[in-house]
Structure 1
Amino acid sequence: MKTAIYCIATNRVQAENIVDNLKLSGFPSGDISVLFPDQTGTRDFAHEQNTKLPEGAAAGGAAGMGVGAILGWLTGIGTLAIPGVGPFIAAGPIMAALSGAALVGAAGGIIGAMVGLGIPEYEAKLYDGKIRGGNILISVHSDNSSQESIAKDIYKKAGAEDINSTSEASVT
């Protein structure tokens, strides 16, 4: 059964360190999600809704220096304007979930997307407040307990906050 392991990074340097270490530990880019508010005012990001690595890397590269080289390799990176919430930068599976919320104009789209990824609602509400406050949500999907332990260890060593995990429901 797949498990989602998630945490809060308090700054981009910490987030990039976590993502880099996840990558070096063998987690595929398509299994890593990152979400943070676009507080830079940069509008150079392409709205990328697919999950193909080359296009995601190109969008990340075009997005440029604001996101950093480590986050630029993630799948499907782009910006989203969520009605009533504001602009966010997202990558990975959460990008697709949030794109759907943004297209239908869902208020509370961040919480709904996180719940859709398997995060319990009470934790999603906690993370929503932290993300809106400028922190960064990082999530990775694992196939086994060994990968889950590796991810949690990476989060802890980086000093991440609110480290949790949840089993993901299988989708048919």
Structure 2
Amino acid sequence: MKDSVYCIATTVDQAESIVLNLKQQGFTSDAISALLPDKRGSKDFAHEHNTKAPEGAATGGVAGLGVGAALGWLAGIGALAIPGLGPFIAAGPIMAALSGAAVGGAAGGVIGGLVGLGMPEYEAKRYDAKIREGNILISVHVETSEQRTLAKDIFKHHDAKDISSASEAKPA
């Protein structure tokens, strides 16, 4: 079984707490994903931002990401420019999904990337709306039903919103 468990955090502090707890419970940095609006220039994030916007949503060079230790621990953290949506910070497997072919144009966006990871389209649309409102999407890839339950319990413990799970897409 390969599933992903998803939730919405409403603040960076809440997201940091969730990721730290997942890490403490043995989830690896490459099993956890986060997607959040890039508020560069605000007090929340301070980093150098270089994107490849003409190439669609592409990873950018990021130095000194000021998102905190827990989010900084995640694999592949970087900046994305999603056409029609603007700048985001992404980490983990979601980074590859959003910077890949699924987001080659504005029509794909976050929804296309999430569907590409195996999320049902109706769920992807719901999470897309939450992210557009400034919330943070966190997901964790799980191998067993025990891990799925543990991840959901961690999300609930931290008062995360919109907790769900889905089977991951099978590689072609």
Q: Which secondary structure does the structure 2 equivalent of 1:119 belong to? A: coil
Could you say which residue in structure 1 is the equivalent of 2:88? 88
Write the letter of the residue equivalent to 1:144.
T
**2: distance between equivalents of 1:44 and 1:118?**
32
Runs of 4+ in structure 1 off by over 6 angstroms are none
Could you say which residue in structure 1 is the equivalent of 2:163? 163
State percent identity of aligned pairs. Answer: 64
Could you say which residue in structure 1 is the equivalent of 2:9? 9
Q: Which secondary structure does the structure 2 equivalent of 1:30 belong to? A: coil
Q: Do the aligned partners of 2:103 and 2:110 also contact (CA within 8 Å) in 1? A: no
Change (3 A) 1:135 1:103: closer
Which aligned pairs between 1:1-172 and structure 2 lie closer than 5 A? 1-41=1-41, 42-45=46-49, 62-65=63-66, 67-101=67-101, 104-172=104-172
5+ unaligned residues in a row in structure 2: which ranges? 52-60
Structure with greater helix percent: 1
The count of residues paired between Structure 1 and Structure 2 equals 159
Write the letter of the residue equivalent to 1:63.
G
Q: What is the Cα deviation at residue 107 of structure 1?
A: 2.6
Could you say which residue in structure 2 is the equivalent of 1:50? none
Change (3 A) 1:108 1:169: closer
Q: Which secondary structure does the structure 2 equivalent of 1:79 belong to? A: strand
Q: Do the aligned partners of 1:82 and 1:101 also contact (CA within 8 Å) in 2? A: no
Q: Do the aligned partners of 1:80 and 1:102 also contact (CA within 8 Å) in 2? A: no
**1: distance between equivalents of 2:108 and 2:170?**
24
- Return the TM-score normalized by structure 1: 0.85
Q: Alignment RMSD, CA only?
A: 1.9
**2: distance between equivalents of 1:103 and 1:3?**
22
Q: Do the aligned partners of 2:47 and 2:65 also contact (CA within 8 Å) in 1? A: no
Q: Do the aligned partners of 1:7 and 1:139 also contact (CA within 8 Å) in 2? A: yes
Q: Which secondary structure does the structure 1 equivalent of 2:35 belong to? A: strand
Change (3 A) 1:88 1:102: farther
**2: distance between equivalents of 1:103 and 1:120?**
16
Q: What is the Cα deviation at residue 46 of structure 1?
A: 6.3
